[in-house]
Amino acid sequence: MNKYFLLILIPLAYSCNDSDVPSSHDRSQKAITTKAETIDSTYLSSKTYHFHVDNDSIYGAGSKVLDKIITESQYIVYGERHNSKATSKLISALIPKMSAQGYSALGLEVGPNGVEKLKELMVPYQSTIQNLKEFNTKYYNKQVESTPMVFFSGVEDAEFLATASKHNIDLIGLDQEHYYSIFFLTDEILLNAKNSANYSKLELLKQKADQFILQSFMKNKKSDEGVDLFKNILDNHDVQNFFKEASSTSTKAAKIINDLKISWDIYSRWRDDSHADRISYIRNNFEDFLKDNNANAKVFIKVGNIHAIQIFNKGVYDIGHYANELATKQNRKCTNIDSWTRYYLEDGKEEDYEDWYLREKLFIQFARKDQWTIFDLESIRSDIENGKIKLPTNGDFHSLNSMIQGYDYQLILPQDQFITPNIEID
């Protein structure tokens, strides 16, 4: 297993129509009819399309489906498999198409202050890849084997960010600050207090705080016990002194510190349903962006699969639901897209993950190694509701119904692999 993959997984711990749209339960009731034929391969083939992505060009029958989605939607919520080379290449190819249709922002599963750093690193677009490489290298921490910017440690990530920069696409920081972001955010805190009369004092306070923070991460990495890492950090007097002094000298520094405290509280309470607080934080950050920038902005939101769902899931109404809710109130459209991986190349060996989709075998059989596959779930959902087709009544029903009600389109990636590391490690 690629060690970078393990690093990214450590810190990470979830739809878009509410009262105005039938719930998944209501929809599933409409799906039951004795006259309709059960969905099968022949029917599904009529809702299946394929396309190629080649050097930022998209072609094939499925490309027309993507064009339709981009043209019709106010918001697109894309549920990805993280650290996917193929996904980043697709996003890079979609950005010019979206820009031409008036999309102006890209919502990311990154904290607000992390996104501010990305905005700095993505300019000029000709230097984005190198800027991110230098940043990742500078803040890679050997002792705890951590990368500073979650989901932007790969070359392909930097490439789509460069494309976004080239087309003047704004970025939205939706999520909490990343687990290891503190290793660069203390520098950002100090930088924003550079004009302070007590800057020399702040430098000394930062050194002490940094030392304790690193020691805490190293101790936590070696411990098998359930240590509350971030509570211990916040309780430390050196950290408290640095935060207190910096907050009094700069409103920007104060904001970073406040955002860190919110993020750390979510991490600390993961056993106590802080997931719901995380999702509310994501929703609120999206709402704040629309209020502060442009309420009519067309936005592409790139998040993990589970966040893109448009129905109630895992105890929350995630960003996929919220974006759909907002679009409905505006008499506009939100499109929710999920993605799967069947073929995966790791260490030169291809893996076939067909067995991961035991309840979705009807769909996964259409995967192709050299092409993207896209299913029009929206059309299937309409046929179910109108009694033209029905779902199976065995155990497959639950997974298929959740997919069809939860997303408007389902993608299957071509053969994929882990992103190319954009970092130098001695």
pTM of the full structure: 0.91
- Say how far apart CA 272 and CA 311 lie, in whole Å: 23
Number of CB atoms found within 10 A of residue 286's CB: 22
Tens digit of each residue's pLDDT, the chain (426 residues): 444 443 343 344 433 443 343 444 444 444 444 579 999 999 999 999 999 999 889 999 999 999 999 999 999 999 999 999 999 999 999 999 999 999 999 999 999 999 999 999 999 999 999 999 999 999 999 999 999 998 999 999 999 999 999 999 999 999 999 999 999 999 999 999 988 899 999 999 999 999 999 999 999 998 877 789 999 999 999 999 999 999 999 999 999 999 999 999 999 999 899 999 999 999 999 999 999 988 999 999 999 999 999 999 999 999 999 999 999 999 999 999 999 999 999 999 999 999 999 999 999 999 999 999 999 999 999 999 999 999 999 999 999 999 999 999 999 999 999 999 999 998
Q: Which CATH class is domain 3-192+250-417?
A: alpha beta
Token digits of residue 205: 């306070």
- Say how far apart CA 12 and CA 2 lie, in whole Å: 17
- Say how far apart CA 339 and CA 231 lie, in whole Å: 36
In this prediction, residue 152 carries a pLDDT of 96
> 70 to each of 6, 149, 333, how far by Cα in Å?
34, 28, 10
- Say how far apart CA 26 and CA 77 lie, in whole Å: 23
Nearest partner of 213 among 192, 244, 190, 238, judged by Cα: 238
* 73 Cβ contact list (under 8 Å, min separation 6): 298, 327, 332, 333, 334, 335
Query: Angle at CA 379, nearest 5°, toward 401 and 74?
Result: 100
Token digits of residue 359: 């309840």
In this prediction, residue 392 carries a pLDDT of 98
Token digits of residue 296: 């009519």
Q: Which residues of 144-174 are buried (b: 16+ CB within 10 A; e: fewer)?
A: bebbbbbbbbbbbbbbbbbbbbbbebbbbbb
